[in-house]
Structure 1
Amino acid sequence: MAACAGLRLGVVRVLLVVAIVCGLRAAVVTAEESSLSSPIVCTCRCCYQGGCSPLTNVSWTVSSCNECSTKMCNDYISSQQVRADTARLFEGIQGEKPLNDTVVVQECEVIAVLEAATCTTKSCKRTSTIKAECYDRNAPLIKYSIISFVLLTIFAVILGIIKNYIPAFQSLNEKYFNY
Protein backbone atom coordinates (compact mmCIF):
# COMPACT_ATOMS: atom_id res chain seq x y z
CA MET A 1 0.00 0.00 0.00
CA ALA A 2 2.81 2.40 0.90
CA ALA A 3 4.67 1.45 -2.28
CA CYS A 4 1.59 2.24 -4.37
CA ALA A 5 1.19 5.64 -2.68
CA GLY A 6 4.90 6.35 -3.22
CA LEU A 7 4.58 5.38 -6.88
CA ARG A 8 1.57 7.67 -7.36
CA LEU A 9 3.40 10.52 -5.64
CA GLY A 10 6.39 9.93 -7.93
CA VAL A 11 4.15 10.03 -11.01
CA VAL A 12 2.57 13.27 -9.80
CA ARG A 13 6.02 14.80 -9.27
CA VAL A 14 7.12 13.79 -12.77
CA LEU A 15 3.94 15.29 -14.25
CA LEU A 16 4.56 18.46 -12.25
CA VAL A 17 8.11 18.78 -13.60
CA VAL A 18 6.90 18.15 -17.17
CA ALA A 19 4.18 20.82 -16.79
CA ILE A 20 6.69 23.37 -15.47
CA VAL A 21 9.22 22.65 -18.24
CA CYS A 22 6.52 22.88 -20.93
CA GLY A 23 5.20 26.13 -19.44
CA LEU A 24 8.67 27.68 -19.36
CA ARG A 25 9.40 26.54 -22.91
CA ALA A 26 6.13 28.09 -24.16
CA ALA A 27 6.95 31.34 -22.36
CA VAL A 28 10.42 31.47 -23.98
CA VAL A 29 8.99 30.81 -27.47
CA THR A 30 6.35 33.52 -26.97
CA ALA A 31 8.97 36.00 -25.77
CA GLU A 32 11.16 35.26 -28.82
CA GLU A 33 8.22 35.73 -31.22
CA SER A 34 7.20 39.02 -29.62
CA SER A 35 10.74 40.36 -29.84
CA LEU A 36 10.83 39.75 -33.62
CA SER A 37 8.03 42.22 -34.33
CA SER A 38 7.73 45.69 -32.88
CA PRO A 39 5.52 45.75 -29.79
CA ILE A 40 4.35 49.32 -30.47
CA VAL A 41 1.30 49.77 -32.69
CA CYS A 42 0.01 53.03 -34.15
CA THR A 43 -3.74 53.08 -34.90
CA CYS A 44 -6.11 55.69 -36.27
CA ARG A 45 -9.33 56.87 -34.65
CA CYS A 46 -12.01 58.91 -36.34
CA CYS A 47 -14.11 61.29 -34.24
CA TYR A 48 -17.40 62.70 -35.50
CA GLN A 49 -19.87 64.68 -33.37
CA GLY A 50 -18.21 63.65 -30.13
CA GLY A 51 -18.10 59.92 -30.80
CA CYS A 52 -14.76 58.30 -31.62
CA SER A 53 -14.26 54.91 -33.20
CA PRO A 54 -11.14 53.13 -34.43
CA LEU A 55 -10.69 52.75 -38.17
CA THR A 56 -10.68 49.03 -38.90
CA ASN A 57 -7.57 47.53 -40.49
CA VAL A 58 -5.67 50.81 -40.17
CA SER A 59 -2.62 50.21 -37.98
CA TRP A 60 1.14 50.20 -38.32
CA THR A 61 3.96 48.84 -36.20
CA VAL A 62 6.45 51.53 -35.24
CA SER A 63 9.67 51.47 -33.26
CA SER A 64 8.60 54.28 -30.91
CA CYS A 65 5.48 56.30 -30.15
CA ASN A 66 7.21 59.40 -31.54
CA GLU A 67 6.81 57.93 -35.04
CA CYS A 68 3.04 57.65 -34.62
CA SER A 69 1.52 60.82 -36.04
CA THR A 70 -1.81 62.11 -37.27
CA LYS A 71 -0.15 62.74 -40.64
CA MET A 72 0.03 58.96 -41.21
CA CYS A 73 -3.72 58.70 -40.65
CA ASN A 74 -4.49 61.70 -42.85
CA ASP A 75 -2.31 60.22 -45.60
CA TYR A 76 -4.33 57.00 -45.34
CA ILE A 77 -7.65 58.90 -45.57
CA SER A 78 -6.36 60.84 -48.57
CA SER A 79 -5.01 57.74 -50.33
CA GLN A 80 -6.34 56.75 -53.73
CA GLN A 81 -7.57 53.34 -52.53
CA VAL A 82 -9.76 54.74 -49.73
CA ARG A 83 -11.14 57.41 -52.03
CA ALA A 84 -11.91 54.77 -54.67
CA ASP A 85 -13.71 52.57 -52.11
CA THR A 86 -15.84 55.53 -51.01
CA ALA A 87 -16.58 56.49 -54.62
CA ARG A 88 -17.61 52.90 -55.36
CA LEU A 89 -20.05 53.09 -52.46
CA PHE A 90 -21.70 56.21 -53.87
CA GLU A 91 -21.78 54.70 -57.36
CA GLY A 92 -23.70 51.75 -55.92
CA ILE A 93 -26.16 54.08 -54.22
CA GLN A 94 -26.64 56.21 -57.32
CA GLY A 95 -26.91 53.29 -59.75
CA GLU A 96 -30.11 51.62 -60.80
CA LYS A 97 -29.06 48.20 -59.55
CA PRO A 98 -28.43 47.75 -55.83
CA LEU A 99 -25.05 46.57 -54.59
CA ASN A 100 -24.87 42.80 -54.90
CA ASP A 101 -22.81 42.18 -51.77
CA THR A 102 -22.61 43.51 -48.24
CA VAL A 103 -20.54 46.65 -47.82
CA VAL A 104 -19.23 47.53 -44.38
CA VAL A 105 -19.40 51.30 -43.98
CA GLN A 106 -17.71 53.37 -41.33
CA GLU A 107 -19.61 56.62 -41.42
CA CYS A 108 -16.79 58.62 -39.90
CA GLU A 109 -14.32 57.34 -42.49
CA VAL A 110 -16.71 58.23 -45.34
CA ILE A 111 -17.22 61.74 -43.94
CA ALA A 112 -13.48 62.19 -43.42
CA VAL A 113 -12.79 61.08 -47.02
CA LEU A 114 -15.43 63.45 -48.38
CA GLU A 115 -14.08 66.33 -46.30
CA ALA A 116 -10.50 65.58 -47.33
CA ALA A 117 -11.56 65.66 -50.99
CA THR A 118 -13.81 68.72 -50.85
CA CYS A 119 -12.53 70.83 -47.96
CA THR A 120 -9.02 71.81 -49.04
CA THR A 121 -8.80 75.49 -48.04
CA LYS A 122 -7.86 76.76 -44.59
CA SER A 123 -11.18 78.57 -44.16
CA CYS A 124 -13.09 75.30 -44.56
CA LYS A 125 -14.20 73.80 -41.24
CA ARG A 126 -14.22 70.02 -40.92
CA THR A 127 -16.66 68.13 -38.73
CA SER A 128 -14.58 64.98 -38.39
CA THR A 129 -11.26 64.63 -36.62
CA ILE A 130 -8.64 61.99 -37.31
CA LYS A 131 -6.38 61.04 -34.40
CA ALA A 132 -3.38 58.77 -34.14
CA GLU A 133 -3.00 56.65 -31.02
CA CYS A 134 -0.02 54.64 -29.89
CA TYR A 135 -0.30 51.34 -27.99
CA ASP A 136 2.60 49.49 -26.43
CA ARG A 137 1.73 45.80 -26.41
CA ASN A 138 4.51 45.13 -23.90
CA ALA A 139 3.21 47.63 -21.37
CA PRO A 140 3.84 46.42 -17.81
CA LEU A 141 0.16 46.18 -16.82
CA ILE A 142 -0.72 44.08 -19.87
CA LYS A 143 2.37 41.91 -19.59
CA TYR A 144 2.13 41.22 -15.86
CA SER A 145 -1.62 40.65 -15.84
CA ILE A 146 -1.26 37.98 -18.54
CA ILE A 147 1.70 36.37 -16.77
CA SER A 148 -0.21 36.42 -13.45
CA PHE A 149 -3.26 34.79 -15.03
CA VAL A 150 -1.18 32.03 -16.64
CA LEU A 151 0.78 31.34 -13.45
CA LEU A 152 -2.40 31.31 -11.33
CA THR A 153 -4.01 28.86 -13.76
CA ILE A 154 -0.94 26.59 -13.70
CA PHE A 155 -0.92 26.73 -9.89
CA ALA A 156 -4.63 25.84 -9.72
CA VAL A 157 -4.19 22.87 -12.08
CA ILE A 158 -1.17 21.59 -10.18
CA LEU A 159 -2.99 22.00 -6.85
CA GLY A 160 -5.97 20.13 -8.30
CA ILE A 161 -3.69 17.27 -9.32
CA ILE A 162 -1.77 16.94 -6.05
CA LYS A 163 -4.51 17.86 -3.52
CA ASN A 164 -5.20 14.19 -2.78
CA TYR A 165 -1.61 13.73 -1.55
CA ILE A 166 -1.49 16.69 0.88
CA PRO A 167 -2.54 15.61 4.40
CA ALA A 168 -3.95 19.03 5.33
CA PHE A 169 -6.47 18.74 2.47
CA GLN A 170 -7.76 15.26 3.38
CA SER A 171 -10.76 16.55 5.32
CA LEU A 172 -11.67 18.94 2.48
CA ASN A 173 -11.29 16.14 -0.06
CA GLU A 174 -13.65 13.90 1.90
CA LYS A 175 -16.18 16.69 2.41
CA TYR A 176 -16.27 18.33 -1.05
CA PHE A 177 -14.49 16.09 -3.57
CA ASN A 178 -15.62 12.60 -2.61
CA TYR A 179 -17.01 11.21 -5.85
Structure 2
Amino acid sequence: MESLFKASGFISKLCQFIGSLCIVISVLATAVGVTTRYLFKLTNGEFGFVMQGGVEIVSYCMLFSLLAAFAAYIERAQIIVDLFTQKMPKSVKGFLMAIFLLGFAVIGAIFAWGLYESAVEAHEVGTFTQDLRISFTPIYSFAAFLSGLLAIRSLIESIKIFKTGEFFDAEEIAHES
Protein backbone atom coordinates (compact mmCIF):
# COMPACT_ATOMS: atom_id res chain seq x y z
CA MET A 1 0.00 0.00 0.00
CA GLU A 2 2.87 2.35 0.81
CA SER A 3 4.20 1.90 -2.72
CA LEU A 4 0.87 3.12 -4.10
CA PHE A 5 1.10 6.25 -1.97
CA LYS A 6 4.66 6.84 -3.17
CA ALA A 7 3.51 6.36 -6.76
CA SER A 8 0.85 9.00 -6.19
CA GLY A 9 3.49 11.40 -4.90
CA PHE A 10 5.69 10.69 -7.92
CA ILE A 11 2.78 11.27 -10.31
CA SER A 12 2.05 14.55 -8.53
CA LYS A 13 5.66 15.73 -8.90
CA LEU A 14 5.75 14.65 -12.56
CA CYS A 15 2.52 16.51 -13.30
CA GLN A 16 3.77 19.60 -11.46
CA PHE A 17 6.87 19.55 -13.67
CA ILE A 18 4.86 19.05 -16.87
CA GLY A 19 2.40 21.79 -15.93
CA SER A 20 5.19 24.22 -15.05
CA LEU A 21 7.06 23.47 -18.26
CA CYS A 22 3.93 24.02 -20.33
CA ILE A 23 3.22 27.34 -18.61
CA VAL A 24 6.79 28.51 -19.30
CA ILE A 25 6.48 27.48 -22.96
CA SER A 26 3.16 29.36 -23.20
CA VAL A 27 4.69 32.51 -21.74
CA LEU A 28 7.76 32.28 -24.00
CA ALA A 29 5.64 31.65 -27.11
CA THR A 30 3.46 34.64 -26.25
CA ALA A 31 6.48 36.87 -25.61
CA VAL A 32 8.18 35.83 -28.85
CA GLY A 33 4.97 36.32 -30.81
CA VAL A 34 4.34 39.78 -29.40
CA THR A 35 7.99 40.82 -29.87
CA THR A 36 8.20 39.65 -33.47
CA ARG A 37 4.90 41.34 -34.39
CA TYR A 38 6.09 44.54 -32.76
CA LEU A 39 9.42 44.41 -34.60
CA PHE A 40 7.59 43.73 -37.86
CA LYS A 41 5.35 46.75 -37.29
CA LEU A 42 8.21 48.95 -36.04
CA THR A 43 10.38 48.25 -39.12
CA ASN A 44 7.46 48.60 -41.57
CA GLY A 45 7.84 45.00 -42.64
CA GLU A 46 11.64 44.99 -42.98
CA PHE A 47 11.90 42.50 -40.13
CA GLY A 48 10.25 39.62 -41.94
CA PHE A 49 10.12 37.03 -39.17
CA VAL A 50 6.75 36.61 -37.52
CA MET A 51 6.17 33.58 -35.32
CA GLN A 52 3.63 31.26 -36.91
CA GLY A 53 1.38 29.05 -34.81
CA GLY A 54 1.79 30.91 -31.54
CA VAL A 55 -1.90 30.58 -30.75
CA GLU A 56 -1.76 26.81 -31.29
CA ILE A 57 1.34 26.44 -29.13
CA VAL A 58 -0.23 28.43 -26.32
CA SER A 59 -3.61 26.69 -26.54
CA TYR A 60 -2.19 23.16 -26.48
CA CYS A 61 0.31 24.01 -23.75
CA MET A 62 -2.53 25.47 -21.70
CA LEU A 63 -4.52 22.26 -22.22
CA PHE A 64 -1.57 20.19 -21.02
CA SER A 65 -0.86 22.48 -18.08
CA LEU A 66 -4.47 22.38 -16.89
CA LEU A 67 -4.68 18.59 -17.17
CA ALA A 68 -1.33 18.23 -15.40
CA ALA A 69 -2.29 20.67 -12.63
CA PHE A 70 -5.58 18.89 -12.09
CA ALA A 71 -3.78 15.55 -11.73
CA ALA A 72 -1.05 17.07 -9.54
CA TYR A 73 -3.40 18.65 -7.02
CA ILE A 74 -6.52 16.48 -7.22
CA GLU A 75 -6.59 15.87 -3.47
CA ARG A 76 -6.74 19.64 -2.91
CA ALA A 77 -9.03 20.48 -5.81
CA GLN A 78 -12.31 20.15 -3.97
CA ILE A 79 -14.19 23.27 -3.05
CA ILE A 80 -15.94 22.59 0.21
CA VAL A 81 -18.94 24.72 0.94
CA ASP A 82 -18.61 25.62 4.59
CA LEU A 83 -22.36 25.96 4.99
CA PHE A 84 -22.92 22.25 4.26
CA THR A 85 -19.86 20.73 5.89
CA GLN A 86 -19.14 22.80 8.99
CA LYS A 87 -21.27 20.56 11.26
CA MET A 88 -20.18 17.28 9.68
CA PRO A 89 -17.79 15.00 11.50
CA LYS A 90 -14.35 14.69 9.92
CA SER A 91 -15.01 11.03 9.09
CA VAL A 92 -18.09 11.94 7.01
CA LYS A 93 -16.15 14.69 5.22
CA GLY A 94 -13.39 12.20 4.47
CA PHE A 95 -15.88 9.67 3.15
CA LEU A 96 -17.45 12.28 0.87
CA MET A 97 -14.01 13.37 -0.33
CA ALA A 98 -13.10 9.77 -1.15
CA ILE A 99 -16.36 9.34 -3.10
CA PHE A 100 -15.67 12.55 -5.05
CA LEU A 101 -12.17 11.32 -5.85
CA LEU A 102 -13.61 8.03 -7.11
CA GLY A 103 -15.85 10.11 -9.35
CA PHE A 104 -12.82 12.00 -10.66
CA ALA A 105 -11.08 8.67 -11.30
CA VAL A 106 -14.02 7.64 -13.48
CA ILE A 107 -14.07 11.03 -15.25
CA GLY A 108 -10.31 10.87 -15.84
CA ALA A 109 -10.63 7.35 -17.26
CA ILE A 110 -13.45 8.47 -19.58
CA PHE A 111 -11.36 11.45 -20.74
CA ALA A 112 -8.32 9.22 -21.26
CA TRP A 113 -10.31 6.69 -23.27
CA GLY A 114 -11.98 9.37 -25.41
CA LEU A 115 -8.70 11.14 -26.08
CA TYR A 116 -7.02 7.82 -26.89
CA GLU A 117 -9.75 7.07 -29.43
CA SER A 118 -9.27 10.56 -30.88
CA ALA A 119 -5.52 9.91 -31.17
CA VAL A 120 -6.12 6.63 -32.99
CA GLU A 121 -8.62 8.30 -35.32
CA ALA A 122 -6.25 11.22 -35.97
CA HIS A 123 -3.53 8.71 -36.86
CA GLU A 124 -5.81 6.74 -39.18
CA VAL A 125 -7.31 9.79 -40.89
CA GLY A 126 -4.17 11.92 -40.77
CA THR A 127 -5.52 15.14 -39.26
CA PHE A 128 -3.15 18.01 -38.57
CA THR A 129 -3.28 21.34 -36.76
CA GLN A 130 -4.17 24.33 -38.89
CA ASP A 131 -1.09 26.56 -38.55
CA LEU A 132 1.82 24.33 -37.60
CA ARG A 133 0.66 21.22 -39.51
CA ILE A 134 1.45 19.00 -36.50
CA SER A 135 -0.38 15.70 -36.35
CA PHE A 136 -3.12 15.60 -33.75
CA THR A 137 -2.01 12.10 -32.76
CA PRO A 138 0.72 13.15 -30.26
CA ILE A 139 -1.43 15.99 -28.94
CA TYR A 140 -4.38 13.71 -28.19
CA SER A 141 -2.04 10.97 -26.94
CA PHE A 142 -0.34 13.26 -24.43
CA ALA A 143 -3.69 14.63 -23.25
CA ALA A 144 -4.90 11.02 -22.85
CA PHE A 145 -1.76 10.22 -20.85
CA LEU A 146 -2.35 13.17 -18.50
CA SER A 147 -6.02 12.21 -18.13
CA GLY A 148 -4.91 8.68 -17.30
CA LEU A 149 -2.60 10.07 -14.62
CA LEU A 150 -5.56 12.00 -13.24
CA ALA A 151 -7.61 8.78 -13.07
CA ILE A 152 -4.79 6.81 -11.44
CA ARG A 153 -3.96 9.52 -8.93
CA SER A 154 -7.62 10.10 -8.03
CA LEU A 155 -8.10 6.40 -7.43
CA ILE A 156 -4.97 6.15 -5.27
CA GLU A 157 -5.91 9.22 -3.22
CA SER A 158 -9.43 7.85 -2.74
CA ILE A 159 -8.01 4.53 -1.53
CA LYS A 160 -5.69 6.48 0.78
CA ILE A 161 -8.63 8.30 2.36
CA PHE A 162 -10.65 5.08 2.75
CA LYS A 163 -7.61 3.33 4.28
CA THR A 164 -6.23 6.03 6.58
CA GLY A 165 -9.10 8.49 6.99
CA GLU A 166 -6.65 11.35 6.37
CA PHE A 167 -7.37 13.96 3.72
CA PHE A 168 -6.59 17.57 2.88
CA ASP A 169 -9.16 19.64 4.73
CA ALA A 170 -9.22 23.23 3.51
CA GLU A 171 -11.63 24.18 6.31
CA GLU A 172 -9.12 23.16 8.99
CA ILE A 173 -6.39 25.19 7.36
CA ALA A 174 -8.69 28.21 6.98
CA HIS A 175 -9.67 28.06 10.65
CA GLU A 176 -6.04 27.73 11.80
CA SER A 177 -4.95 30.94 10.09
TM normalised by structure 2 equals 0.31
Whichever of the two has the greater Rg, that structure is: 1
> If each structure's helix is expressed as a fraction of its own residues, which one has the higher value?
2
TM normalised by structure 1 equals 0.30
> If each structure's strand is expressed as a fraction of its own residues, which one has the higher value?
1
